[in-house]
Structure 1
Amino acid sequence: MAGGNAIRGSRVGAGPMGEAERGDAAPRRRVSYWCANSHETQPSFAYDSGSEVPETWDCPRCGLPAGQDRANPPQPPKTEPYKTHLAYVKERRSESDGKAILEAALAKHRAKRGL
Structure 2
Amino acid sequence: MGSGNAIRGSRVGAGPMGEAERGEAAPRVRVPFWCANLHETHPSFASDAAIPELWDCPRCGLPAGQDQHNPPAPPRNEPYKTHLAYVKERRSDKDGQAILAEALERLRANRSPW
* Same fold (TM > 0.5): yes
Given residue 85 of structure 1, which amino acid in structure 2 is its aligned partner? H
In 2, the alpha carbon distance for the partners of 1:88 and 1:46 equals 47
Q: Which sections of structure 2, spanning at least 5 residues, go unmatched?
A: 2-7
Q: TM-score, normalised by structure 1?
A: 0.80
- Given candidates 74, 78, 82, the residue that maps to 1:84 is 82
- Matched with 1:5 is none
Name the residue aligned to 2:5.
none
Task: Name the counterpart of 1:36.
Answer: 36
Give the number of equivalent residue pairs. 105
Aligned residue number for residue 75 of structure 1: 73
Following TM superposition, the consecutive aligned residue runs of length 4 or more in structure 1 with deviations greater than 6 angstroms are none
Q: Structure 2 CA distance, aligned partners of 1:39 and 1:15?
A: 38
- Secondary structure class of the residue paired with 1:89: helix
Question: What is the match of residue 45 of structure 2?
Answer: 45
Matches within 5 A, 1:50-65: 52-65=50-63
**Cα distance in 1, alignment partners of residues 102 and 47 from structure 2:** 68
1:112 Cα shift?
Answer: 3.4
CA distance in 1, matches of 2:51, 2:94: 55
C-alpha displacement at 1:27, in angstroms? Answer: 0.3
Q: What corresponds to 1:17 in structure 2?
A: 17
Deviations along 1:67-106, one digit per CA (max 9) or x if unpaired, are 0000000000000111110111112222232111100112
Q: 1:68 to 1:87 in 2, by over 3 A?
A: same
TM-aligned CA deviation for residue 19 of structure 1: 1.1
Q: Provide the alpha-carbon RMSD of the alignment.
A: 2.1
Letter in structure 2 aligned against 1:45: F
